[in-house]
Amino acid sequence: MRPDDPIRLDRRRREDPAIKAALDALAAELQTAGRDARANAAEPERPLVTWAAALRDRLIAAAGTKPWQASADGLAGAKAWAMQAPDASTKPWALDAPPQASLKPWSAEALSASTKPWAVEAPTSASTKPWVLPFLARAERLSVRPMPLAGLAMAAVLVMVAVVGLAAIRSPGAPPAVAGVSVDAWLVRDGIRSSLADGIALHAGDAIDVGAAGGATLHLGDGEARLAGGASLRITALADGSVTLEQLAGRVYHRVALPEGGRYVVATGPLRWVAEGTAFDLRRSTTSGGGEQAELLAVEHAVTVRGDDLSARVAQGKLAVVTLTEGAAEALDIAPVPPELLDDPWLWANADADHQLDFELGILATRRGEPTPIPTAVGTATPGATPAEAAEAAGTPAPAAATPAPKPRATARPTAKPTAKPTQAPTSAPTAVPTPTMTLDLTACHGAVLIEWEEVKKGSFDHYLTLRNTDSSIPKAYPPKNGAVDPGTTYANDRDQLSAFDAGADAGTRTYYRAMTFDDDDEVTAWSSVKSVVPKDHADLGPLDVSGTALGLSFSWSSYGGPGKCFDYYKIVSSPDHANPSYLDGDQVLAAPGSQGDSSAAGLVHLPGTYHFIVEAIKRTDTGKFLVAHTEVETFTVLP
């Protein structure tokens, strides 16, 4: 029995009234002391109004991309939140706030807090994200043929002429498009959102959104588009035997089967993926700040990807990864798909569904030949087959492309040819292939790779850890093997800790990661598939301008233009003796502006003397913070 166990109290014995009175008096005295303690420390204990509003804003922005987008009511709620002006007078923390004059160092911002448009910025509309023309930076293993704009335009004209001519000769009409079985899926038609019903005819302009734990199948011609949880797909055009789609977010397995001459095109932002063959798996993930990644696995035959100044062919069995920042293609990487990525329940389930429809399975044929556990047939849109992996890829809803559609090509000819089933070759001693049981989401932030995963709720738990390697071999073990290393910044010993970072990978070099969960004996109890990313160096915020006025110091810098997901706050840092002051090294912080768009601060009081100043953009994770971007150091003398 523990000493504090209440059962040890003798409940029959009544406390001496004198003792009770003495304890009450003591409690009252301490109550007063506690109130005084809070009052004496009142100012630092109160949250700054602008910081509180920025945090609220950030939480809502994060929330706006998640479950309540799946319901109309929830979306309305999020909008209602967003429409609430940050009326400081109605918030408890605002009521507690000291008078504006004493709101240093953010008095200016505090004064304008109630008029700032942050409230209506919260759930940024996915469809309003401007996309700029992409440029292409060559990367290793790049297989790209830049096309001169003039040549592209000429080709487009020729293609249009050819298509118009063909259309005059042959007009096969719109391929049939019908919704199949779906779970937690929504049809958005003419701005009205309704549950996606099995059998409903689909038209150009329709959009289908799938909840995080849902799934949906669309019958397009004789093929299918199978949407994983979190996916969003819009039908752009159904005409002339062709299908044109826009994949707005998440992961979709496209099984193409159209009449001869029909084209199957999927747009992701400024990119167009044109099916040459009959099956591919495409996932689109994006960051709230505009960074985006599209990954395509060519399952059967090839897929051509095109963008402005970009054209490449992804052959069967190859994985193409295109990274875009603010609509510009930073890199296209095409490489053989790592075998580990085929250990994917989503792909197995699709292979099973394709098999039932008598389609060829391409690179999944051998995979399906193995006696691996296939969760359920996705051909019937069972979300259970995909949730973890699909959620991994889904990210936040992606911006819709504002770029004009590409000029059609007259020569596209995907084939719809149901063929004989591949022969199954079961082995005599089937061995189940273990499936990844953790999600892993990588973001190449400036300065570090942001690593995120979802909570592992089952099994014995001691900690999470993510390993890194320069190739895709990362065994599920600790200590690391095969050249994998422990970055040292991903250890998380709380199930609720779901993010970490790695600032030690080489910028510009594709780097692979696997997240794992360990028990008390350092045995791996859950793990993710291996994923890769190309780390980036710190971003440059340009020169820092410091000036002094009677009201204090003023600072201005260039705001951080990278993904919002990679930013939490700025720190204005000073040091009298460090030529390169650093917030993470413990130098003095004058202020911490919390909005990414901030580019100035004024009225900061500082002791006289000569100091080195810097502004740093910082990202916080559950295992620590990292430097994302910084200004140049400015040395300034503060006069008495």
Partner 1 sequence: MTHEQPGSRLDRDHERALVARARADAAAFGELYDFYLPRIHGFIVRRVGDRAVAEDLTAVTFERALNAVRRDDFRNDAFGAWLFRVASNAIVDHVRGASRTIPLAADGEPEPIGDERAARQLEAAVERDQLRRAMSRLSEQHRRALALRFVDDLDAEEAAAVMGCSRATFAVRLHRALNAMRGALAEEATDAA
Q: Whose CA is closest to 289, among 640, 587, 579, 562? A: 562
Asked if residue 31 binds partner 1 (CB under 8 A), the reply is yes
Nearer to partner 1, 74 or 480 (CB): 74
3-state helix, strand, coil in the chain (%, to 5): 25, 30, 45
Of the candidate residues 140, 260, 494, 522, the single one contacting partner 1 (CB under 8 A): 494
Binding segment (CB under 8 A) for partner 1, from list 287-295, 300-308, 424-432, 563-571? 563-571
Of the candidate residues 1, 10, 44, 423, the single one contacting partner 1 (CB under 8 A): 44
Binding segment (CB under 8 A) for partner 1, from list 48-56, 165-173, 197-205, 469-477? 48-56
Of the candidate residues 10, 11, 13, 40, the single one contacting partner 1 (CB under 8 A): 40
Nearer to partner 1, 47 or 384 (CB): 47
Asked if residue 64 binds partner 1 (CB under 8 A), the reply is yes
What the block records as the tokens of 166 is 């063909």
Report the DSSP beta bridge partners of residue 516. 465, 527
Cβ burial 117-146 (10 Å sphere, 16+ → b, else e)? ebbeebbbebeebebeebebeebeeeebee
Of the candidate residues 50, 58, 393, 556, the single one contacting partner 1 (CB under 8 A): 58
What the block records as the tokens of 25 is 């008096």
Of the candidate residues 592, 615, 617, 628, the single one contacting partner 1 (CB under 8 A): 592
Q: How many residues bind partner 1 (CB under 8 A)?
A: 68
Start-to-end CA span in the chain (Å): 65
Kind and range of the H or E element at 73? helix 72-83
Of the candidate residues 231, 312, 474, 498, the single one contacting partner 1 (CB under 8 A): 498
Of the candidate residues 148, 247, 625, 633, the single one contacting partner 1 (CB under 8 A): 625
What sign for the dihedral angle of Cα 366, 276, 134, 228? negative
CB of 380 to partner 1, least distance (A): 23
Of the candidate residues 568, 587, 598, 616, the single one contacting partner 1 (CB under 8 A): 568
Asked if residue 487 binds partner 1 (CB under 8 A), the reply is no
The backbone torsions φ and ψ at residue 235, rounded to the nearest 5 degrees and listed phi first, read -90, 115
The number of beta carbons lying within 10 Å of the beta carbon of residue 613 is 25
CB of 41 to partner 1, least distance (A): 7
Nearer to partner 1, 583 or 636 (CB): 583
Give the per-residue contact string, 74-113, with partner 1 (x = CB under 8 A; - = no): x--xx-xxx-x------xxx--x-----------------
Binding segment (CB under 8 A) for partner 1, from list 54-62, 149-157, 249-257, 556-564? 54-62
What the block records as the tokens of 259 is 């009449």
Of the candidate residues 10, 496, 520, 577, the single one contacting partner 1 (CB under 8 A): 496
Of the candidate residues 1, 10, 11, 19, the single one contacting partner 1 (CB under 8 A): 19
Asked if residue 577 binds partner 1 (CB under 8 A), the reply is no
The backbone torsions φ and ψ at residue 259, rounded to the nearest 5 degrees and listed phi first, read -60, 155
| 3-state DSSP of 89-135 | HHCHHHHCCCCHHHCCCCHHHHHHHHHCCHHHHCCCCHHHCCCCCCC
The number of beta carbons lying within 10 Å of the beta carbon of residue 39 is 9
Nearer to partner 1, 316 or 439 (CB): 439
Binding segment (CB under 8 A) for partner 1, from list 192-200, 287-295, 324-332, 564-572? 564-572
Residue 520 corresponds to which amino acid? D
Helices 49-63/72-83 angle, 10° precision:
160
The CA distance from 142 to 333, in Å, is 5
Task: Check residue 528 and report its DSSP letter.
Answer: P
Of the candidate residues 60, 401, 541, 601, the single one contacting partner 1 (CB under 8 A): 60
Nearer to partner 1, 54 or 385 (CB): 54
Asked if residue 62 binds partner 1 (CB under 8 A), the reply is yes
Of the candidate residues 73, 520, 521, 577, the single one contacting partner 1 (CB under 8 A): 73
Asked if residue 20 binds partner 1 (CB under 8 A), the reply is yes
Asked if residue 33 binds partner 1 (CB under 8 A), the reply is yes
Nearer to partner 1, 96 or 309 (CB): 96
The verdict on whether omega for the bond into residue 436 sits within 30 degrees of 0, i.e. cis, is no
Report the DSSP beta bridge partners of residue 323. 293, 331
Of the candidate residues 141, 413, 417, 620, the single one contacting partner 1 (CB under 8 A): 620
Strands 192-195 and 177-189: antiparallel
Nearer to partner 1, 327 or 624 (CB): 624
Asked if residue 515 binds partner 1 (CB under 8 A), the reply is no
Of the candidate residues 1, 11, 65, 71, the single one contacting partner 1 (CB under 8 A): 71
The CA distance from 465 to 279, in Å, is 35
Nearer to partner 1, 327 or 397 (CB): 397
Residue 405 corresponds to which amino acid? A
Cβ burial 395-420 (10 Å sphere, 16+ → b, else e)? bbbbbbbebeebbbbbebebbbeeee
The residues, any chain, with a CB within 8 Å of residue 496's CB and separated by 6 or more, are: 455, 622
The CA distance from 485 to 506, in Å, is 13
CB of 39 to partner 1, least distance (A): 9
The residues, any chain, with a CB within 8 Å of residue 51's CB and separated by 6 or more, are: 106, 592, 594
Asked if residue 608 binds partner 1 (CB under 8 A), the reply is no
Nearer to partner 1, 339 or 586 (CB): 586
Of the candidate residues 10, 13, 52, 291, the single one contacting partner 1 (CB under 8 A): 52
CB of 123 to partner 1, least distance (A): 8
Binding segment (CB under 8 A) for partner 1, from list 236-244, 327-335, 501-509, 617-625? 617-625
CB of 5 to partner 1, least distance (A): 7
Asked if residue 154 binds partner 1 (CB under 8 A), the reply is no
Residue 76 corresponds to which amino acid? A
Number of H helices, E strands in the chain: 11, 30
Asked if residue 67 binds partner 1 (CB under 8 A), the reply is yes
Nearer to partner 1, 53 or 225 (CB): 53
**226: number of CA atoms within 13 Å, CB side?**
26
**Which residues contribute to the site for partner 1 (CB under 8 A)?**
4-6, 9, 19-20, 22-24, 26-31, 33-34, 36-38, 40-41, 44-48, 51-52, 55-56, 58-60, 62-64, 66-68, 71, 73-74, 77-78, 80-82, 84, 91-93, 96, 457, 494, 496-498, 568-569, 571, 586, 589, 592, 620, 622, 624-625
